Structure formats: structure tokens, C-alpha cells
Amino acid sequence: MAISEVPESVGTTMTTTTTTTASFQSDSDLNRSTLRRRPSLSSARGLSNSPLKPDGSEAESSAEDLIRESGSIDSFTVKSSKEDMDNKKVDAVNGVNDKTGNGGNREVPDISAVKFAYRPSFPAHRRVKESPLSSDNIFKQSHAGLFNLCIVVLVAVNSRLIIENLMKYGWLIKSGFWFSSKSLRDWPLFMCCISLIIFPLASYLVEKLAQNKFISEPVVVLLHIIITTTAIVCPVLVILRCDSAFLSGVTLMLFACIVWLKLVSYAHTNYDMRAIAQSIEKGEELPSTLNLEYTYNVSFKSLAYFIVAPTLCYQPSYPRTPSIRKGWVFRQLVKLIIFTGVMGFIIEQYINPIVQNSQHPLKGNLLYAIERVLKLSVPNLYVWLCSFYCLFHLWLNILAELLRFGDREFYQDWWNAKSVEEYWRMWNMPVHKWMLRHIYFPCLRNGVPKGVAALIAFLLSAVFHELCIAVPCRIFKLWAFIGIMFQVPLVLITNYLQNKFRNSMVGNMIFWFIFSILGQPMCVLLYYHDLMNRKGKLD
């Protein structure tokens, strides 16, 4: 028998040649499975003395690649047997009759090369590596397993708390949780909500008159101011005059604010498009960066779609999806019902008892107030996250799917915000885009400094937060207004810390603490006790 001793690297195959004598053929049949080429001295030396790169990283050996890719010698043997079967098939096609099964000159895997590859002299540490949880490497790793652990722990801990709460307080959700006869007294608010459709129609008539040049530009601006102001004042008067439930008042004020924002965008966008059209008629040169994708044309169809679309920024047309996924919509509706029920359960079973058994946070013992705020922070955080998921992910995506609305960036990864400024920029994209388009950039174009423009945007946001909470509560102590304006110094503080401690999550930790641990529970306690004090005085 003659075996070719051609030097080769580990992991390659060898070529064996059978002898022509019959006796050797029979011996080969008996020892065929164990016939393997051992690595030569030069190849073995090459395995144990693999060269290192100048930067400290190793030159990967083919033997290590075999071990890494195959996982074990057994899997490698299975792979080699499959290759032998494939070679037999090739021999049968070519008319080769080889009783030894080697098919003449045959390539067979070198298993002994794998067995002798990782020698004791083979270096185990060959480059600089960071631990997966080190500060330089932690955000480059996948933490899906830790996330699953957090979910399991969260379910286990809260399951125990739910059982403990039910054993201590019993079932606190009343039969009229979803609907009761008292809800019928809110019909004036319901009628006011339906009547809000009048204001978009009035804006459409004003724009149609302006397109036909029946009214001048100052008159158009004045009429839009009257329409938008009336759209926000009428719901406020209805809520204050009617003894309605808090939830009904909040719902009406949210719809009124949405209509106001849409009307402002509709009027402002048409004003700008009208100015561009007039400049084109006069033959004036326009900058090349100006968007001339849409022509000025007042269309009732575009306004109707804009009013129901999940956006606050008007444009004549929007990117559309090809079809409606009915099964997907049904699944999202089921999720919406489930998470709404979860929010109601947490509010009735946890938040209400905690709030009712607490004192006013500004009129009692400091340690007691801190204990109440911390106890309220966890269920309040759950409700806040569920409400965000229901509104910004489920409901807006359902509405977008039904309307085939294409741009569904309703939020970004605000949970990774490293400053308060990033949070406000990412958590509510419809409002953020509206603020940029109709407040921030118009201020900059008129020479207003960036800081003042951002302050104006926060001021407008604070006013609308106060309207949506103080009007339904009928309490005007400016808690919501102060809470939003307090974000301005927080923006400066977190930006400073983020610039000082780069590649850190200091700003993110401050954001979570202010919003979930301190800010929102404090606002809930303040408004609740002021509301209870107001009812006590009325009684």
C-alpha cells in the first residue's frame, strides 16, 4: 500500500491509493474504517505553534475552525459518512466497481487531525477580550435572556402581590366599572364631541373662499383664529357647566385639543402653499430646497382623510399601504381590550385604595409622603406603560391599518433616552412633528433664538396639559403646568450630565426616576386630594 504524504493543513482531506494485489484489497476491506492519515511532523508543529498577528489577534487555524463549525468529532464523522455515500453514488454513475468502497483515489476526512489538533502546547489566550458585562462591551451584547428573566420575575412578583391584595381587600371592582346609569348624565359632553366636526368644515369653507380670492389674506387669518379658538373654548365651557365624570371630561378635552392642532396645521399649511403658488404666478425665483411636490388645491377629500388620519400634520396626500390586514387588525383589537382591562384592574384594585388611604403630600409628614409616593409609583408606572402601549402602538396602528396610512412612526425608542430632551423628542412623534413644523422652525425663520423657540414649545405643551387635566377636575392650581415647565431645567441638567459622562446612562436613570418614581405619582396625589377637598367643600 502506498499513501501519499503530501503536506496539508489540518481540516483538509487526504488522498489514498489502493494497491493492486488481492490480498491487500481484503486487508483494506477489514481496516477501511480505521485507515486515516496521521498528521505529519510539520503539520503537527504548525498546529501547536500557530502564529499570532501583531495586534494580538490569532491567526485562526483550520483545526479550530473544524471544531467550532462541527461542534464535535461525532458530528464530523456523520458528515464524512455522508460524503462517502455521495462518492459511492458518483462512482456508480461513472461505472467504477470498487469493492473496497474507497472508489480508487478518494478524499476522506482526516478525523485524527481533529483529535490531535488542540494540543496542550496550543495557546488558549491569544487576544485582548472584554467581559460581556463590562462598561465598554455591555451595549454591544444581546440581553434577550436577561429580558426574559425580568419578565419571569415580574410575573412571579406581581402574581404574589395580586393574590395578597385580593386576600386583604377582596374584589374592589364594582359592577358598573365599564358602564353605569350615571354615564348617561354625560350626554352633553358626547353631543359636544360630535359637534367638533363643524370646525373642520368651517375651515374648509374659509380655505375655499381664499382659493377663489373672495376674501383677503388678513381676513383668512382672522377667521382661522376665531374657528380654532372656538374649537377649544366650547368644550371647556361645556365641561365646566355640566356635572360630568372625570374620564368623560378628559376624553372630550383630548378630542378638542386634537381638533385644534389639526386645524392649526391645516390653516398654516394652506397659507404656506398659497404663498408659494403666488410666488410662482409672479415669476419669482424659489430656492432649490423648497418642496414643490404638492400644488395648492383645496380638496374636501384630503381634509376628511386628514381629520381621521393618525397624524397632526396636514398635507394633500400621504404614503399609503396596498391593503388592509383584517386578521392583524382583529389581533390588535383583542390586545387593546386586554390591556385596557389590565389598566382598569390596576386602577381600581391598587391605585384607588392607596390614594384614598393617603394624606395630602404637601400637608403631612415628609417620610409618610415619600412612602406613599413610592408605594404608588409601581402601579402608576404599569398604568402609564399600558396606556402608552394601548394608545401609541395599538390604537394608532389599528387606525392607520384601517385607513392604509403608511407612515407609522408614532414613537421611537424613548425608553433609551439619555436626557429629558431626547424623551420629549421621541415618545410622541405626532406632537413632536407638529411642534417642529408649526412652532419651532417658524420661530427660527423669524429670528427667534433656539432656546426661546424651545421654551415656547414647552409653554404651549404645558397649557394643553393643564387644560386636559385641570378642566375635567375643575381645579386650577397649575400642577400640570408646573410639572411640564419643570422639564426645562431638567433638560439642561440631563444634557449637562450626558455631555460630562459620555457613553453612560446617567440621564436615562434620572429620566426614569423623575417620571416613574417621583413626578407622576406626586401629580396623582396632588390632584386627587385637591379634588376630594373640593367635593368636601361643595358637600
| Residue closest to 379 by CA, chosen among 525, 174, 191 | 525
Q: Is 432 considered catalytic here? A: no
The identity of residue 514, as a single letter, is: I
CA angle 58, 63, 65 (to 5 degrees): 70
| H-run or E-run covering 305 | helix 300-308
Burial class (CB in 10 A: 0-12, 13-18, 19+), 293: exposed
Q: Are 70 and 62 in contact (CB under 8 A)?
A: no
Helix extents (H) in 347-449: 352-356, 366-388, 396-403, 420-426, 429-435, 441-445
Q: Give the distance from CA 295 to its chain's centroid.
A: 35
Residues in the chain: 539
Q: How far apart are CA 478 and CA 498, in angstroms?
A: 30
Helices (H) and strands (E) in the chain, counts: 23, 3
Which 3 state secondary structure label does DSSP give 186? helix
Give the separation between CA 457 and CA 468, rounded to whole angstroms. 17
CA–CA dist 345, 178 (Å, integer): 11
Contact at 8 Å (CB) between 355 and 524? yes
CB 274 within 8 A of CB 221: no
Residue 106's DSSP bridge partners are 16
CB 206 within 8 A of CB 220: yes
Q: Is residue 138 a contact partner of residue 132, using CB atoms and an 8 Å limit?
A: yes
User: Distances from the Cα of 168 to the Cαs of 124, 172, 379, 508, in angstroms?
Assistant: 59, 11, 17, 36
Return d(Cα 144, Cα 135) in angstroms, integer.
18
Query: Out of 224, 268, 465, 529, which one is annotated catalytic?
Result: 465
* Residue type, position 40, single letter: S
The answer to whether 262 and 202 have CB atoms below 8 angstroms apart is: no
Which residue carries 411640564 as its cell?
484
Rounded CA gap, 450 and 26, in Å? Answer: 91
Instruction: Report the side by side order of strands in the sheet with 106-109.
Output: 2-3, 13-17, 106-109
In 3D, which of 61, 59, 60, 80 has the Cα closest to residue 70? 80
26 grid coordinates: 481484503
Name 109's bridge partners: 13
φ, ψ of residue 8 to 5 degrees: the values are -150, 160
Q: Which residues are catalytic?
A: 465
